[in-house]
Amino acid sequence: MQSTINDMIDTKKKNSGLMTSGNIYLKILAFSIPLLLGNLFQLMYNTIDSVVVGKYVGSEALAAVGSASPVINLVIGFFMGLAVGAGVVVSRYYGARRIEEERTAIHTFLAFSFLFGIVLSVLSLFLASYILQWIGVPEDVFPSADVYLSIYFAGTVFVTVYNAGTGILQAVGDARSPLIFLGISSILNVFLDLLFVREFGLGVAGVAYATVICQAVAALLVIMTLKCTKQEYRISFKQMRINMPILIQMIRIGVPSGIQNMIVSFSNVIVQADVNSFGSAAMAGFSSANKFDNFVGMPINSFTLAVTTFTGQNLGAKRFDRVKKGVHAGLIMSIAVVLCMGFIVYTNAETCISFFTADSAVIANGSTLLRIMCPFYIFLCFHQIYSGALRASGRSNIPMVTSIMAFVVIRQIYLYFAMKYINDISVVGWGYSFTWILAAAFTSLYYFGSHWLSREEQKSAASING
């Protein structure tokens, strides 16, 4: 009797991350809440850096950290796309209960992430100063931005290993462990920021050191969790090698997302260059507005990842009936949360920016951007949720094309002409809002017009009959 009970408990633990059965709304919501809280910790992690330098160092330091963010996203963006591909592969093996392939995929991507992080760190350290020069960072901001980037990129391997491990845990339905890791690192980051900046007087360098240390701690925690778990996805350092066929499968799915991230980040670097032309007050305002832009975007990213994992697992299990319902559920919930959060930020725009600085010019610039962008976040829900489902089916090229067309090509054309006639930072805010609408339209047209899910069913039926 006791043996039977223990077997039932073990089975429940092993299947706790599966989304192939049960209430769809509850499954997606239960997976999304830890992701949302985790994203909140991640935002706090980045925001505390800006708050500390803004309050204790000055607006130039705040502008330096803000101008460094697009460069960091540009460098890390490609790997994050590969992590999406790895997550899709792992989630489909997990949903299909193909344990050996799942374990091989996990070990392959962790080994790859370590090697990739080392190479990325070396290249980034070499190129950081040149990128800052190219985007026209002002002379009063450049030294601090250069120091921040140099220290940050020295710890790039911690970022790649942490994100690889977190992506694996999320692919098997464990969103709680990454939440705990982010909570620990965020609290540590607050302590170290204040220690290094306020007590030791290290300025922007202190913020960068704190960030690297916290990333190292988070990476260690995620690796130890994968090493010590009793579940099927437990890792062994002896098995840490690259399986080329599986890596190629991950790359095939992940490279379009990686290219998309890099090109969109590159576009944002160009936007940052446009913002830099307005001066340090505009740079600081843009940086502060970006923090709340990320805040409102958190639920979209959380529900998107939940939908990607849900779709991947159900496609692997051939539960096609649940896929469409899951996408619809993720869309409805993301829209509801974004509307509430957007309303709060819109009506309290000046207060939001004043968290970072008391400079009236910075507050004016930042609040202007927030009020322009907040009403349009709903369109990002359509683009991101549908893109997440398409990536899970292996159609990563579609989100790549729609994102690059809207967020890069059209956005840059718009800014090029608009800034010739309107010398105001509001032009940048309208550029984001306008292209979110276009991205939603492009992605929705493919999602509904291509009958992609019917093709998946036909492909599955053909393989069974064959």
Query: Got the DSSP string for 231-257?
Result: STT---GGG----HHHHHHHHHHHHHH
Q: At residue 254, what is the residue type?
A: G
Separation CA 411–CA 350 (nearest Å):
26
pLDDT at position 53, please? 72
Q: Is residue 16 part of a domain?
A: no
Q: How far is CA 306 from the centre of its chain?
A: 13
Separation CA 302–CA 316 (nearest Å):
21
CA angle 418, 423, 425 (to 5 degrees): 85
Q: Is residue 379 part of a domain?
A: yes
Separation CA 257–CA 240 (nearest Å):
25
Give per-10-residue mean pLDDT for the chain (466 aa). 38 57 87 78 68 70 70 77 84 84 92 91 81 74 82 89 89 83 85 85 85 92 91 87 91 83 74 75 78 80 88 85 91 92 88 79 85 91 93 86 90 87 84 93 93 78 54
Separation CA 326–CA 394 (nearest Å):
17
Q: How far is CA 121 from the centre of its chain?
A: 19
- Helix H or strand E segment including 20: none
Separation CA 75–CA 125 (nearest Å):
11
Q: Is residue 170 part of a domain?
A: yes
Q: Is residue 6 part of a domain?
A: no
pLDDT at position 8, please? 37
In this structure, what DSSP letter does residue 2 have?
Answer: H
pLDDT at position 16, please? 52
Q: Please report, for residues 146, 155, 452, the alpha-carbon distance to residue 125 in angstroms, rounded to integers and kept in the order given.
A: 10, 10, 42
Number of domains in the chain: 1
Q: Is residue 333 part of a domain?
A: yes
Q: Is residue 8 part of a domain?
A: no
Contact 379, 437 (CB under 8 A): yes
Range of the domain at 118: 21-460
Q: At residue 238, what is the residue type?
A: K
In this structure, what DSSP letter does residue 239 have?
Answer: G
Backbone angles phi, psi at 279, to 5 degrees: 105, 175
Short-list 355, 344, 341, CA closest to 284: 355
Contact 145, 137 (CB under 8 A): yes
Q: How far is CA 153 from the centre of its chain?
A: 18
Short-list 245, 312, 224, 309, CA closest to 105: 245
Separation CA 178–CA 94 (nearest Å):
19
Which SS3 state, helix, strand or coil, does residue 393 take?
coil
pLDDT at position 9, please? 35
Q: Is residue 4 part of a domain?
A: no
Q: Collect all residues with Cβ–Cβ distance below 8 Å to 79 and sequence separation of at least 6.
A: 113, 116, 117, 120, 159, 160, 163, 258
Separation CA 108–CA 242 (nearest Å):
4
Give DSSP secondary structure letters for 88-100. HHHHHHHHHT-HH
Q: Is residue 7 part of a domain?
A: no
